[in-house]
Structure 1
């Protein structure tokens, strides 16, 4: 079984990324304005400012993505790395795509000497949590929002 290739996005990835992005948003039952999607894609493509992102490719097809930020902290000197979005299409799951994307983000966080790398997921996301339990540590924090 071939390993996932993790790389930066290129213009030819737009259609696949957009399809995956829409599936991701449907999974999380959220609606994202078109202008937000356009801004996100533009920044991912430029790779010159946040958010940053990676594409995961299997057999020449983009099957997943990771989007991440570096965030200043009030308790650490170095920034923290926030992995905001991580997605692998269902057919690619179990083939190391998610792990490879997380490891690529970890490598970038290490390169920038981030104090930590963290992400959120919904409690019911059992498939992803099986991976997260192997590559990260569950924290006791509870999220609130307005």
Structure 2
């Protein structure tokens, strides 16, 4: 096995990234939740004015991990932030350092963009992920509860 390398996602990686997104949905107990397609990912990541970015972990020539993110803004710090939407490493590549390497690349990106922080969410039952994040120096945010509006409720609000 060779060393894991990290690079920005390329158009030729879209199928592998989609496969990792599906594997993540299965891992997170939502196997039918993925609506993304290769075409939607290609447009989102590489279309004109793309606002979503990704780094991939490559091992032995195959994409084995992905960190998908976008930039946000913190009014309290007056600086941008990065929001990590998904970090996932294929089962076969766990323990290779791919996850830590992806996070290190994201940290470098945040520093390069003068971001104040990186934010993300972890399912409350995912102790493995929480342990990994604690090991790299992260801590859970307290006092903030994630909220969401989607589907019919979003459509009603927009129409009203």
Q: TM-score, normalised by structure 2?
A: 0.80
Residue 6 of structure 1 deviates from its aligned partner by: 0.6
1:103 corresponds in structure 2 to 104
1:40 corresponds in structure 2 to 41
Q: 5-14 vs 105-114, which deviates more?
A: 5-14
2:83 corresponds in structure 1 to 82
1:50 & 1:26 partners in 2: Cα distance? 26
Residue 80 of structure 1 deviates from its aligned partner by: 1.1
Q: 116-125 vs 43-52, which deviates more?
A: 43-52
Aligned in 2, Cα 1:110/1:48: closer, same or farther, shift over 3 Å?
Answer: farther
2:100 & 2:86 partners in 1: Cα distance? 13
In the alignment, is residue 7 of structure 1 matched against residue 13 of structure 2?
Answer: no
Question: Aligned with 1:138: secondary structure?
Answer: coil
Residues 76-134 of structure 1: CA deviation (Å, up to 9, x unaligned): 11111111110001111111111011111110000011011121111221222221011
Q: Kindly indicate whether the alpha-carbon contact (under 8 Å) linking 1:69 and 1:84 is maintained by their aligned counterparts in 2.
A: yes
Larger RCO (CA under 8 A, 6+ residues apart) = 1
Gap runs ≥5 in structure 2: 149-160
2:70 & 2:147 partners in 1: Cα distance? 19
1:96 & 1:45 partners in 2: Cα distance? 27
Q: Which runs of 4+ in 1 moved over 4 A?
A: none
Q: TM-score, normalised by structure 1?
A: 0.87
Q: Kindly indicate whether the alpha-carbon contact (under 8 Å) linking 1:81 and 1:118 is maintained by their aligned counterparts in 2.
A: yes
Q: How many residues align?
A: 145
Residue 47 of structure 1 deviates from its aligned partner by: 9.1
Gap runs ≥5 in structure 1: none
What is the Cα-based RMSD across aligned positions, in Å? Answer: 2.1
2:92 corresponds in structure 1 to 91
Summarize the alignment of residues 35-74 of structure 1 with structure 2, pairs less than 5 Å apart: 38-45=39-46, 49-74=50-75
